[in-house]
Amino acid sequence: MIETERLILRPFRESDAADVLEYLHTPAVHCFACMKLDSLDEAKAEMKKRTEDELYLAIVLKESGKVIGEIFGHPEGTDPEDEVMDTFSPCWMLNLEYSGKGYAYEAAHAYFDYLFREKGIRRIYAYTEDYNIPSQRLCERLGMRREGLFMEFVSFINNPDGTPLYENTMQYAILKKEFL
C-alpha cells in the first residue's frame, strides 16, 4: 500500500467493482477500449483477476474510500532476451469526474517513487497518443522527457469502414537518477 496526502494506492478488491464500472463502462481513450466492462458481474470478475497483481493498484480517495482510478504496469527487460527486468511502462486512468484536481499526478509520483526505490526499476517510459493532452501534461509534470513521436504506431479500434485506425504515439521517459 502507498499513502499520499489525499490518496491510498492499494491492490484491488472485489468490492471495488461498482466504482471501477463507473469509469470502465465507457473507457475514456481508445487505448483502453479493450478494458471496457459491460456489467457489475463482469467488473467483479475483473477485480478478482486484479487482486493477484501487486503492481495493479487502485487509486482511492482517503476521505471517502472511493476508487477514483487506477495505475498499473509490469517490469520489462530492455530487450526480450534480457533477464534484468528494470524497465517499466505504467498506464494510468482516472474516473474523469475526479480529473483536474491533481490526483493523477499525486498517484503517479508516489507510484514512480515506489518503483524506483523499492522495485529495482531504472527507467520508466510512457506511451500516449498525440491528441491526449492531459496525459502528456501529466508526463511533463512528472519530469518525463519527450523522447519521440511514432507515426501510425498502433491501432486500438477500427474506422467505420472496418480498416484499422492507426494512431500517432508519443513516448516519454524518466530515469531513476533523474527522478530521485
Instruction: Count the Cβ atoms, other than its own, within 10 Å of residue 93.
Output: 22
Among 8-16, 33-41, 95-103, 157-165, which window interacts with ligand COA (CB under 6 A)? 95-103
Mention every residue, 6+ apart, whose C-beta is less than 8 A from residue 137.
none
Q: What are phi and psi of 75, to 5 degrees?
A: -60, 145
Check binding of 105 to ligand COA (CB under 6 A): yes
If one asks whether residue 100 binds ligand COA (CB under 6 A), the answer comes out as: yes
Compute how many other C-beta atoms are within 10 angstroms of the C-beta atom of residue 107: 28
Q: Which residues contact 143 (CB under 8 A, 6 or more apart)?
A: 174, 178, 179
The pattern of x and - marking residues 139 through 178 that bind ligand COA according to CB under 6 A reads ----------------------------------------
Largest Cα–Cα separation, the chain = 48
Q: How far is CA 162 from CA 29, 69, 155, 159, 165, in A?
A: 19, 31, 12, 5, 9
135 binds ligand COA (CB under 6 A): yes
When asked if residue 28 is in the footprint of ligand COA (CB under 6 A), the reply is yes
Cβ proximity to ligand COA, 17 vs 68, nearer residue:
68
> What residue number has its CB nearest to ligand COA?
102
Among 9, 21, 31, 174, binds ligand COA (CB under 6 A): 31
Interface ranges with ligand COA (CB under 6 A): 28-29, 31, 92-94, 99-105, 128, 132, 134-135, 137-138
